[in-house]
Structure 1
Amino acid sequence: MLSHLLHQRGVESVVIDLRAREDIEETIKAGVLEQGTVDLMTQTGVGDRLHRDGFVHHGFNLAFSGEHSSASIPSPGSAFSPRRRHPRTS
C-alpha cells in the first residue's frame, strides 16, 4: 500500500521480497481491516479484490475462563448491542 501511495505522489520506490510477485499477489491473507483502510484502498484504486473476495463481519466473539461472549459491531449511528454470555462449547 505504501509503495502504491508513493507512486501516486510521483515518488519512486522498490519493494523487495523473497517471493515472486505472482506468488505474493495470489496469496490469500486472513485478517481484519478497519474501515479507514478499506476506504483508502478503494479510493486509491486497489480495493477490487477486497470487495470481490472479502467478507464483512458484523460482530466478534471473545472467550475467557470457559465463557464465550459475542458482540455486534454497530452500523454508524446505531447503539452497541452486546449479546448474552453463554458457556463455551468445546
Structure 2
Amino acid sequence: MPPNHAPRRSRIVFHAPAARQIAKLTEAETHRLDRALVAVSLLPDIGELRRDVPLRDYRDETEGVRIIYFATALKTTVIAVYIEV
C-alpha cells in the first residue's frame, strides 16, 4: 500500500510589483496573506479566471486578501503579480 502524502503544493514566486507590496506589509497583514497563499498553492485554480487576460483573481473575504496570479502549465509554480491586504 503506497504511503499517504500531503497534497502537492505549488511553489509561489512574486513578480517585482507584488514583492514591493509585500515589503510594506505589517506582521499581521503578512500572516493574513500567508493563509491565502497556502490556499492558492494547494489549489492553483481556486481564483476566478479573468476575461481580459490569462490571470486568476483570488479573494479571501474573511482575511481581506486579494491575490492576482497565474499558474504555469503544470501548476507547479504560481506567479503572484498583485497583492492587496
Query: Do they superpose with TM above 0.5?
Result: no
Using structure 2 for the length normalisation, give the TM-score: 0.25
More strand by share: 2
Higher relative contact order (CA 8 A, sep 6+): 2
Q: Highest CA radius of gyration, 1 or 2?
A: 1
Using structure 1 for the length normalisation, give the TM-score: 0.24
